[in-house]
Amino acid sequence: MQKTTRKPVNSFFKKIFVEAGTQVANYAIIFLISILIGALVIFLSGKDPIAAYKALWIGAFGNGLKFADTLDRSTVMILAGVAGALAFRTNVTNLGLEGQLYMGAFAAAWVGFSIHGLPSYVHIPLCLIAGCLGGAIWTLPVIYLKLRWNITELVTTLMMNYIGIRFTEYLIAFPFKDPTATLAGSPVLDASARLPKLMQGSTLNIGFIIAIAVAIFVYWFLFKSKTGYEMRMVGLNKDFAAASGIPVNRSYILAMTMSGAIVGLGGAIMITGFFGRFLGSFSSGYGWDGMMIALLAQNHPLGVLPASLFYGALANGALAMQSATGVPQTAVVMVKGSIMFFVTVTVFVPYIRRRLEKWVA
Amino acid sequence: MGGIDLSRIFTLSLFATTFRMATPVLFATLGGIFSSQAGIFNVGLEALLNIGAFFAVVGSVNTGSPVGGLLYAVVACVIACLFFSVVHLELKANAIIVGLAMNIFASGMTNYLLVTMLDSTGFYQSDLIIGFKTVEIPFIKDIPVLGDLLSGHFPLVYIAFFSVWLVYLILYKTPFGFHLRSVGENQDAAESVGINPKKMRYLSMILCGVFCGFGGSFLSLSYLTLFSEGMTAGRGWLALAAINFGEAKPVRSLIACLVFGFADALALRLQQFGLPSQVVLMLPYVSTLVVLLGSAIADERKRKALNAKHRSAETALT
C-alpha cells in the first residue's frame, strides 16, 4: 500500500500513456490494413509486394536528394492539407480544393509570364498573391449560393472543380496558347518569377518553407486568435455559436476564402517552383490528397505536416517502384484510398483503450 | 455564335441524344435514391460508375456477350457497395468519408487493373468488347416524330426510364419500400416496430450497386465500346446533385437528370459546330449550378407567396 502516495502522478502519466498509445495503435492498425490491402493487390497481379514496397521506400528516402524530392512533393500537399483542415474544422465542406488549386496555379502563371522586367523579390510575391486570389475567387460563387440561396457546398464545390479544370484548359488552349509548345500549356514563366531552389540537384525550393510557415500561421490563427476561436466554435456547433452572438456567416466566408487562397498558393508554388509554366491537368489529384491528409491529421494544421510527408513519400516513391519492379504506380492510389476508408473508423479505439488500461493497471 | 443556325442545333436527334446522355446519370441517381432513402448519403456513385464501366468491359471480353458484361458490372458494384456498408455500418466510419475514399480507391483500382488485367494504359479498346445493339420498337419507329425520339435506342436506355417507374413503385407502393423509407426517416421508430435498420440499409446499398452496375455498363458497352480513364467524367457527382435537387424522390430527380442529359447532348452538338470543347464540356456542371439556383429561387417565391396569402387571410379575418 506504499504505492498510494504516488498514485496521482502515476495515474496522470498512465492516462497520457493510454491516450497516446490508443492514438498510435489506432493509426498503426489503419496503416497496417491499408498496406496489407496494397500488398494483396500487388500479390494478386503476380508481383512481389515486398520488393515493391522496398523500391518505394528507397525511391522516397534512399538518399539525401531523394528525400529532398519527397519534401518537394509534400509542399503542395501541406498547403492542400492545411486548406482542407481549416475548412473541415470550421464546418465548411470544401470539396473544391482541386478546382481552386488549378485557378490559383493559373493566376500565378499568368502574372509570371505576362509581366516582365520585375526584380525577383517583387515578381515572386506578386505571383504567390495572384495564386491566393485565384483560389479565393473561385470560392465566391459557392459562398453566394450557400449564404443567399442555402445550396449545399457539397455539390457546388464539386461542380466548381470540373468547371475550373475545363476553364484553365480553355485558357491555355486559346487566349494564352503557347505556339511553340508541344504540350498544352501556357508560355514559360520569366526567370524572375521562379522560386529559388534550396538544394543543388533537387527540385526542393523555398515553397517548402512557405508551406510550413502557412501551416504554423493557420495553427496560430485557429487556436490562438479570437476569430479562429469563433470559427472553431461554429465548427463544433453552428446553432450554439449563432445563439452566442458569433457571426456565423462571416466565419463561413472567411473559412471558405482562406481555404481557397491556401490551396491556390499551393498551385502557385507548383507552377513557380516546379513546372515553370502552367500545364493542362498538371495536378495528379493534389486537392483530393489534401482532403485525405486533413482527415488523417484530424483537421489539425500541424498534424498535416507529418501526414503530408507520408503522402509526399508515397507519391515520390511510386515512380521508383514502377520503374524498378513494374508494379503500376496506381497501386499507391489504392493504398491511399484504403487509408481513407478506415481513417474515420472508430470501433478500434475503445477496444485498444480497454486493452491498454488493463495492461497498465 | 453569330454564324450558327439554331434550327440546326435544336433538332430531334438532339433530344434523342438527351435520353442517351441522361441514362448513366439516371441509373446512378436511382441507385443513390435507395441509399439516401435508407439514410446513407452515398457519395461513392462516381466510383461505382467507374467500377461498373470497367468490369462491364472485362465481362464482355470474358463472356463474349454484353449481358455477361452487365452481370460482371452488377456483381462488382454490389461487392463494392457491400464493402462500403461493412465499413460504414459495422466499423462505424463516416459515410461521406467512406464514399470519397471509394472514389479515390476506385480510380486507382481501375487504372491498376487496366494495366495488369488488360495490359494497357489510359484506355482499352478492342474488337473483343461486344457492346449492346440498338433496339427498334416495331410500331413506334414508323411514327414520324415519336419514332426518331423514342425508337433506336440502346436497351439500357429503355430500362433506365422504365426503372424510374419501378423505383417509384418499390419505394411508395410496397411494404419493403415503406420499411426502407422509415429507416431513413426515423431509425428508432422503425426499430420499435420490428424493422431491422441495418438489414434495410444493407439491402438499399445492394440495390444501389445493382443500378450503378447498369449505369457503368451503359457507359462502356453501349454508345462507346471501350473503357478509358475518367470516362465517368463526373456523372456520379451529377447524380448526387440530381438526388439533392429531387430530395431523393424518383420523378423529381428524373427532371434533373434530363436537364443534365440535355446539357451533355448540347455540349456534344456544339462541339461539332467548332466551339472550343473545353468550354462546352463545362455545360453539364454549369447547368447543375443553374438548376440548383433555379429551384432555390422557385422555392423562395413559393414560400413568399404562401406567406403573403397567410397574411392577407389574417388581415381579412381581423
For chain B, say whether A151 makes contact (Cβ under 8 Å).
yes
Domain extent listing, chain A: 13-47+328-361, 72-326
Chain B positions touching A340 (Cβ under 8 A) are: 97-98, 100-101, 104-105
Residues 6+ apart with CB under 8 A from B161: B19, B26
DSSP string, B122-150: SEEE-TT---PPPB--TTGGGSHHHHHHH
- The least confident of A327-331, B147-151, B164-168 is B147-151
Q: Which residues pair with B227 in a beta bridge?
A: B124
The answer to whether A279 touches A113, Cβ cutoff 8 Å, is: no
Instruction: Give the pLDDT band (50/70/90) at residue B4.
Output: low
pLDDT of residue A323: 86
Contact criterion met (CB < 8 Å) for B285 and A163: yes
Higher-pLDDT residue of A83 and B12 is A83
Q: How many CB pairs under 8 A join A and B?
A: 141
pLDDT of residue A96: 93
Of B43, B109, B237, the CB nearest to A334: B109
User: CA of A352 to nearest chain B CA: how many angstroms apart?
Assistant: 14
Mean pLDDT of A47-59: 89
H helix or E strand, kind and range, residue B226: strand B226-228
Contact criterion met (CB < 8 Å) for B108 and A337: yes
Evaluate if residue A279 carries a pLDDT over 50.
yes
What mean pLDDT is reported for chain A?
88
User: CA of B173 to nearest chain A CA: how many angstroms apart?
Assistant: 30
- Residues of chain B with pLDDT > 70: what percent? 97
- pLDDT digit string, tens, across residues B190-233: 888 888 888 999 999 999 999 999 999 999 988 888 888 888 88
- Cα(A133)–Cα(A94) distance, rounded to whole angstroms? 17
Instruction: Give the pLDDT band (50/70/90) at residue A10.
Output: low
Contact criterion met (CB < 8 Å) for B91 and A342: yes
Evaluate if residue A301 carries a pLDDT over 90.
yes
- Cα(B116)–Cα(B109) distance, rounded to whole angstroms? 10
Evaluate if residue B11 carries a pLDDT over 80.
no
Chain A positions touching B97 (Cβ under 8 A) are: 295, 340, 343-344
User: CA of A47 to nearest chain B CA: how many angstroms apart?
Assistant: 10
Instruction: Give the pLDDT band (50/70/90) at residue A141.
Output: very high
Domains of chain B are 6-317 (1.10.3470)
- pLDDT digit string, tens, across residues A202-231: 889 999 999 999 999 999 999 999 999 999
Residue A168's SS3 state is: helix
Q: Distance from first CA to last CA of chain B, Å, rounded?
A: 58
The answer to whether B85 touches B34, Cβ cutoff 8 Å, is: no
- pLDDT digit string, tens, across residues B76-110: 999 999 999 998 988 888 888 889 889 989 988 89
- Residues of chain A with pLDDT > 90: what percent? 45
Contact criterion met (CB < 8 Å) for A155 and B285: no
Contact criterion met (CB < 8 Å) for A291 and B100: yes
Evaluate if residue A258 carries a pLDDT over 50.
yes
pLDDT of residue A5: 46
Contact criterion met (CB < 8 Å) for B289 and A141: yes
Contact criterion met (CB < 8 Å) for B282 and A163: yes
Contact criterion met (CB < 8 Å) for B292 and A332: no
User: CA of B15 to nearest chain A CA: how many angstroms apart?
Assistant: 24
- Residues of chain B with pLDDT > 90: what percent? 28
Of A170, A174, A288, the CB nearest to B104: A288
Instruction: Give the pLDDT band (50/70/90) at residue A8.
Output: very low
Evaluate if residue A2 carries a pLDDT over 60.
no
Chain B positions touching A331 (Cβ under 8 A) are: 108, 112
Residues 6+ apart with CB under 8 A from B164: B26, B30, B250, B251, B254
Contact criterion met (CB < 8 Å) for A158 and B292: no
Best mutation target among A157, A342, A344 (most B Cβ atoms within 10 Å) is: A344
ipTM field: 0.84
What mean pLDDT is reported for chain B?
86
For chain B, say whether A52 makes contact (Cβ under 8 Å).
no
User: CA of A343 to nearest chain B CA: how many angstroms apart?
Assistant: 8
Highest mean pLDDT among B74-78, B249-253, B283-287, B311-315: B74-78
pTM value?
Answer: 0.88
Contact criterion met (CB < 8 Å) for A345 and B234: no
Exposure of B148 in the CB half-sphere (CA atoms within 13 A)? 8
Chain B positions touching A332 (Cβ under 8 A) are: 108
Contact criterion met (CB < 8 Å) for B278 and A159: no
pLDDT of residue B90: 87
- Cα(B120)–Cα(B123) distance, rounded to whole angstroms? 7
Mean pLDDT of B49-74: 91
Instruction: Give the pLDDT band (50/70/90) at residue A307.
Output: very high
Instruction: Give the pLDDT band (50/70/90) at residue A337.
Output: confident
pLDDT of residue B209: 94
- pLDDT digit string, tens, across residues A107-135: 999 999 998 888 989 999 999 999 999 99
Mean pLDDT of B114-135: 80
Mean pLDDT of B237-247: 88
Instruction: Give the pLDDT band (50/70/90) at residue A4.
Output: very low
Contact criterion met (CB < 8 Å) for B115 and A331: no
Instruction: Give the pLDDT band (50/70/90) at residue B147.
Output: confident
pLDDT of residue A1: 43
Question: b/e per residue, A171-196, with b = 16+ CB within 10 A?
Answer: bbbeebebeeeeeebbbbbbebbbbe
Contact criterion met (CB < 8 Å) for B112 and A155: no
CATH topology of domain A72-326: ABC transporter involved in vitamin B12 uptake, BtuC (1.10.3470)
For chain B, say whether A175 makes contact (Cβ under 8 Å).
no
User: CA of A119 to nearest chain B CA: how many angstroms apart?
Assistant: 35
Mean pLDDT of A55-59: 90
Task: Name the grid cell of B157.
Answer: 436506355
Measured between CA atoms, the residue of chain B closest to residue A154 is B241
Nearest-10 Cα torsion for A194, A199, A200, A204: -50
User: CA of B17 to nearest chain A CA: how many angstroms apart?
Assistant: 22
